[in-house]
Chain A
């Protein structure tokens, strides 16, 4: 039984893995003798990657990026869920607020960065503010949606038990909205990542995005490649972590769905 499960797992990894391995091997070999300045041999990129990111530049460029990302995202989460819960609890309020929120949601998040540069300059405060502001709207929309569409039976039950409005919001509406809210959190986190990079491209100086763009502008091709690779790996790794958090914290919901 266990042997069979391990076999299935190995097979799945093999099936998912052969194509990426093949592509990377191809890149490695095809670029080995490359004299095109923009596509240096992958081996050189890898050596430079180890030099840059294990762990020389990590505290200078990676740590500030991640700090801004998580601070901004956290502010956006608190603002989005807090406001969304208040607005979503009243159908009338939701009807009035939604068009305005939709408008902000429709602005490309990166386009908001110039506004914050004008207001706050180029430092960390500007970056965090841009990230937080852009993150708020998808979370806000999802929370309004989730809180408003609470199951009618649950609401009736709550009113039979004479729950106060605060109890109703905290114990019934919000937990029920969580699966929808998580959809908003996921979109919000992707936006936070993008705005983090954009705010570093546009604001000068430190951060992984700034490092990469400055390297590219000054024709330090290897450094630029290592930055792009690290950003790509980071983007994927963060989305994996996010999926994991969702699965753990929404375990009760998926359990319920399986039973139903």
Chain B
């Protein structure tokens, strides 16, 4: 491999290669036709979309659903998790119930949510909360239970109160778990906000995507999905970096 090529990052080369393969498949390959957009068509459609205010408005709605839903679930789940984690009995009592709710994907309750709340931003927010609250709470409780027993005994012999226990022993030990849970929850919030729009008609990028597909506009459909992928990659990079900085004492 020539030296010039070697200095280009691997990701750039493979991305360009993937785009070329995509272009060939779509223009001369088996998928040539109206229902498949080539790389150039998708990218130019995305370029046009990026100049349209309706697209940015849809993006903003998705961000709103994800952010508000995430904030609500954190405000509920972390205090709840701390409470549950303080006693062995309450932890073991709620573990099963929370694990049960945790594995039920929010997409399952969309039909009921449409009935009860209607296809609105509020429904998207409710789905985001449902998606996060159980997993963040039980993860927090696990972290709280995981506090160093020697440290707790020591604090007890110094007659430090419950609040101090929470502040100096329980929370620092739970911080790593909470950090991981929050990172997963942020990523999940964005996905759920998009799904709420796509399947439940809650608005935002998801509904935008549903509209481009149902009107048979392949170029725009691929453009929106490209955009979602780019946002997803950027977000996950940001989250990994952010977590490393905030919880610097954990190797993870």
Contact = CB atoms under 8 A, between A and B. Distances in A.
Interface of A: 12, 15-20, 23, 38-39, 95-100, 102-108, 110-115, 117-119, 190, 193-194, 197-198, 201-202, 212-213, 215-217, 219, 221, 224-225, 227-228, 231-232, 235-236, 239
Given A102-B233, A106-B228, 18 more contacts: A96-B17, A97-B14, A107-B229, A110-B195, A115-B222, A115-B225, A118-B218, A118-B221, A201-B107, A212-B111, A213-B110, A216-B111, A216-B112, A224-B111, A228-B112, A232-B108, A232-B109, A239-B103
Contacts of A107: 225, 228-229, 232
A216 B114 contact: yes
26 contacts: A12-B92, A16-B92, A23-B97, A96-B13, A98-B11, A102-B233, A105-B232, A106-B232, A108-B191, A108-B228, A110-B195, A111-B224, A115-B221, A117-B213, A118-B213, A118-B221, A190-B103, A197-B108, A198-B195, A202-B199, A216-B114, A216-B115, A225-B112, A231-B108, A236-B103, A239-B103
A19 B90 CA distance: 10
A71 B198 CA distance: 24
B115 A197 contact: no
Contacts, number: 151
Contact of B107 (A20, A102, A198): A198
B27 interface: no
| Most B CB within 10 A of own CB, among A12, A105, A111 | A111
Contacts of A95: 10
A193 B105 contact: yes
A40 to B, nearest CB: 11
Nearest to A238: B103
Contact of A100 (B15, B35, B191): B15
A118 B216 contact: yes
Contact of A19 (B14, B94, B224, B235): B94
A235 B105 contact: yes
B194 interface: yes
A103 B112 contact: no
B232 A99 contact: no
B35 A119 contact: yes
B81 interface: no
Top 6 nearest A-B pairs (CB, nearest first) are: A106-B232, A99-B11, A216-B111, A114-B213, A16-B96, A107-B229
Contact of A111 (B111, B112, B194, B218): B194
A89 B221 CA distance: 35
Nearest to A193: B105
A111 B198 contact: yes
A213 B111 contact: yes
Given A110-B198, A225-B112, A19 B93 contact: yes
